[in-house]
Amino acid sequence: MSEIKPSLLDFTQKELMLLIKPPFRVKQIFGWLYHQYAEDFDDMKNIPKALKDELSDKFVVNPLTIINKEESIDGTIKYLLQMQDGKTMEAVWLKMKDTQFDESGEVIQEAKYTICVSTQVGCKVGCTFCLTAKGGFTRDLTAGEIVAQVVTLKRDNDHKHNRKINIVYMGMGEPLDNLSNLAKAIEIFKEDNGLCISAKRQTVSTSGLSNKIDQLGAMDLGVHIAISLHAVDDKLRTELIPMNKAHNINSIIEAVKRFPIDTRKRVMFEYLVIKNKNDDIASAKKLVKLLTGIKAKVNLIFFNPYPGTDYQRPTRANMVAFQEYLVNHGLLCTIRDSKGIDISAACGQLKEKELGKEK
């Protein structure tokens, strides 16, 4: 294994200015990193060779390598990415809306994309429905490894730096378990001379670490928050998410009420629907009561089965009935149609498939 070095993507522009002189070189390098998606120092044509040699002794540019990817008929692309230490994790390129054309064939609106980003190799939470949990927890990702996922996927899809994109921290790992690196990545994404992805386009999804929801709120980063709720009583939630014993539903709801929310926005509650577990109208009634007083939006998600799981995908009829009950009782509710269902859709599935090849 080659020497592991920090990546230039680990640093804010201000931090790089403390490491690299003169300051105008940092602006040039930032342009190569985030506008041209440079992968190594040789790509940086207007940087003096002596400076490139000096930097290459201490840093790498992009710490990630694409080792596998699968593309769905719906435009979803799942990537398996390898880091300098040989560890792997996943990121997903999601097409949310197709390009729109006028009658003459001119583009009137570009296609819209979201990148689903991982924050850890593995996960500590241990959700019983999640394939990522099967491999246990290995380590946190650095801020640069989080940032590099977006840079790598934008480069691979020829997505220009100034085209808008959304980021959801919903990949492998619990984002709030890696809060310091997450917060730094959020700030790097926001850099005006970089990718310029505003906090309003970044959503942190958490399984419900109530104390760290408070910590994230105190940072006032301006990001949206999504709560992976999945159950309406502590008994079922503890079965699905064992750490619910330490962070029960009530503690999560109270933390959400304290979280600083843009008055124009809503708190997203993710509800993974599993057949014969939480897809009945009785659960829908409890959910309405639970979210009373919160400006909430509920996102119903079909469970994506994977080999070895005992959980089953719900019927669309049950999903629609659940949604209609929530809407009729005043909750904004959508059904997230599964993307990439024809490929390794479940989080961690592509990684498991790659590991299977090695055995």
Ligand-binding site membership of 9 (annotated): no
Q: Which residues pair with 66 in a beta bridge?
A: 81
Ligand-binding site membership of 126 (annotated): no
Residues 6+ apart with CB under 8 A from 213: 176, 206, 225, 252, 255, 256, 258, 259
Ligand-binding site membership of 196 (annotated): no
Active site residues: 90, 347
Ligand-binding site membership of 276 (annotated): no
Q: What does the alpha-carbon distance between residue 190 and residue 14 come to, in Å, rounded to a whole number?
A: 13
Ligand-binding site membership of 210 (annotated): no
Distance of CA 227 to the CA centre of its chain: 13
Q: What is the largest CA-CA distance in the chain?
A: 68
Q: What is the dihedral of CA 212, 270, 241, 253, to 10 degrees?
A: 50
Residues 6+ apart with CB under 8 A from 153: 77, 79, 91, 93, 115, 159
Closest CA to 259 of 251, 271, 267, 269: 267
Ligand-binding site membership of 116 (annotated): no
Closest CA to 288 of 330, 252, 343: 330
Ligand-binding site membership of 161 (annotated): no
Q: Which residue has the tokens 């999504």?
A: 226
Tokens of 95: 């097409």
Secondary structure (3-state) at 246: coil
Ligand-binding site membership of 205 (annotated): yes
Ligand-binding site membership of 123 (annotated): yes
Amino acid of residue 344 = S
Closest CA to 199 of 189, 207, 184: 189
Annotated binding-site ranges for S-adenosyl-L-methionine: 173-174, 205, 228-230, 304
Would you list which residues are annotated within the binding site for [4Fe-4S] cluster?
A: 123, 127, 130
Q: Which residues make up each annotated binding site?
A: 123, 127, 130, 173-174, 205, 228-230, 304
